[in-house]
A and B are shown apart, each in its own frame.
Chain A
């Protein structure tokens, strides 16, 4: 069974640009979670999508947004990039919220 996949693996942007990160959940999983992990820090919850709807979002500004498509894949958009947005962005999928399975992440570097 294929796991959660994320693309791209690495992304380099400059301040003010927009970044789009993509996630494909495990087949059959309807929930997708996005987390941000800055270097050396823990996982900070960003967004939760389930059945195409945004169910909850963490304490992040509105320039962090996303969506979930009918096939349950998801996209995270970060507008007006700032230097501190440089981090590993992790996507997880689950059938039950308390067992999320994570993808390998997208490393975003903002210059």
Chain B
């Protein structure tokens, strides 16, 4: 089970691009990288998932280098409503794998 390490907190301002990096040095060949966003007292919301290179959707981009030992979630032009905790999750299907969440990164967006 790949352990993930993220910064505990980050600060940004409205309109800026925010990049949150997650380290997962012992990622396995079959593991995917998934990011979630969580607001207080709500369930985590799926943002994006990738395996290698770059993935982009309507809300974020995910950059994964060739060695896959880290990944970076990029949020373009953040707004106050992006203030939340962001979790990086690494794992794959099959066996007895349990989605295990780390402490996450608390992002605060300032006006």
Interface residues of A (CB under 8 A from B): 4, 33, 35, 42-43, 45, 48, 55-56, 58, 88, 90, 92, 96-105, 107
Contacts and interface: CB of A to CB of B under 8 A. Distances in A.
B32 to A, nearest CB: 5
B24 to A, nearest CB: 13
B13 interface: no
B41 A98 contact: no
24 contacts: A4-B43, A33-B98, A42-B102, A42-B103, A43-B44, A45-B98, A45-B100, A48-B98, A55-B96, A56-B96, A58-B98, A92-B99, A96-B93, A97-B94, A98-B31, A98-B93, A99-B49, A101-B46, A102-B36, A102-B43, A102-B45, A103-B43, A104-B43, A105-B41
B45 A98 contact: no
Interface string B29-50: 0011010100001111110010
Nearest to B49: A99
B contact patch SS? loop
Contacts, number: 59
Interface size grouping (class) on chain B: 20 to 34
B100 A90 contact: no
A97 B97 contact: yes
Contacts of A97: 91-94, 97-99
Nearest to A55: B96
A42 to B, nearest CB: 5
B6 to A, nearest CB: 11
A59 B36 CA distance: 23
A92 B98 contact: no
Contacts of A43: 44, 87, 101
Contacts of B42: 104-105
Contacts of B98: 33, 45, 48, 56, 58, 97
B18 interface: no
